[in-house]
Amino acid sequence: MLDTKAIKDLLAAQLAANDSYQLPENDHLEFLSELETISRLLTAVKTDANTQADERVLHATYGCKDLAILLRDKLKIHPSEAKRRTRLVRELPNLPHTRDAMYAGEISGEHALVISDAIKRLPTEYKADADRVLADVAPTLDPQFLMRAGKYVRTVVDPDGVYRDEKDAIARRAARMFRDRDGSLRFSATVGPLDGEKIFNFLLALSKPRSVDGEKDPRTFEQRLADAFVEAMTIAMTARDIPGLPRSLLVVTMDADNLANKTGCRSDRHRTAGVPGTGSAHRLRRRPRPHRPRKRRGTPRLRTHTTTRLTRSAEGVGGAGQGMCLPRL
């Protein structure tokens, strides 16, 4: 039997010494690698012990429904971790090459579950070879890249199945959004593989850190990702007309004299606190003017007039000197 007390005493002594900082850099990295191997071997030992506990129906002795509930209640671990350990007990016997690699400390339990997920979807005749191939490359990859390797294997041996999976993923697309009490918006979405790849790369590009006055970007990655999402929405809204979201322009047309005299703008004597200054574009407005006969003085002057009109786009705006476009509403 494993002398667990001796192992605990040894680890406690290492924690008390706290001297790993004295190691040279190369030796320090080697020390971290050895600790990772020990952790993987410990996972294998726990899996083996959990398997034997499941075989003797230990959970029934303690009034638990199954092994996952026993591990959760008695070991006080998270339910997801209990399910993960139970999956290793159930699925490793069907993956001999993966099991050998894990029991040798070459791969972690997470690697083993990634391989299991990849092999589940393969035709039966390819599962043994896929187990061998993925177990061989797993020590050189992290779990995320191993997942991509598993998908590549399936693409080679079962392209029709990959196509079906992509269609199913598209059919599962969904989005939810709701407002919190403080007015903030919560948004979550699931999209298909191709659209997901586009969104992933686009948001990743927009969320890169940006220096502020030469200082490091103070935002967290989550904050940068949220800002990137808002920026993407802003770009989409200003790039083209969107059905149901009209973008109007206010075009004011007047002659040169009215433009020079700022006809329709508030004067200084009419200003109040908090009102924008003279010449503010949004203060231009039509004013009814009483008809007054004028005396002609030499060359007739242009008739004073102010015309406002709303347009959906910049098309139709007059040539140079003919009009002035105000900000979009």
pLDDT for residue 327: 46
pLDDT digits (tens, 9 = 90+) for 51-95: 999 999 999 999 999 999 999 999 999 999 999 999 999 999 999
- Which of the pair, 254 or 229, is modelled with greater confidence? 229
> What single-letter DSSP state applies at residue 190?
E
Rounded distance, CA 6 to CA 265, Å?
88
Mean residue pLDDT across the chain? 82
Closest C-alpha among 73, 102, 70, 99 to residue 86: 70
b/e map 173-205, b = 16+ CB within 10 Å? eeeeeeeeeeeeeeeeeebeeeeeeeeeeebee
Rounded distance, CA 67 to CA 61, Å?
11
Q: CA of 187: how far to CAs of 104, 178, 225, 242, 303, in Å?
A: 44, 7, 13, 20, 56
- CB neighbour class for 300 (10 Å; exposed up to 12, middle 13-18, buried from 19): exposed
pLDDT for residue 214: 82
Mean pLDDT, to the nearest integer, of 137-166? 91
| Residue 265: CA count within 13 A, CB half-sphere | 16
pLDDT for residue 213: 80
Mean pLDDT, to the nearest integer, of 30-42? 95
> What single-letter DSSP state applies at residue 124?
G
pLDDT digits (tens, 9 = 90+) for 185-209: 999 999 998 899 999 999 999 999 9
- Which of the pair, 288 or 202, is modelled with greater confidence? 202
b/e map 150-160, b = 16+ CB within 10 Å? beebbeebbee
pTM for the full model?
0.62
Position 276 confidence tier, pLDDT thresholds 50, 70, 90: very low
Rounded distance, CA 104 to CA 135, Å?
12
pLDDT for residue 163: 86
Phi, psi of 273 (to 5 degrees): -60, 135
How many degrees, rounded to 5, is the angle at CA 87 between CA 84 and CA 90?
160
Rounded distance, CA 146 to CA 114, Å?
7
pLDDT for residue 316: 41
Position 141 confidence tier, pLDDT thresholds 50, 70, 90: very high
> What single-letter DSSP state applies at residue 215?
B
pLDDT for residue 267: 54
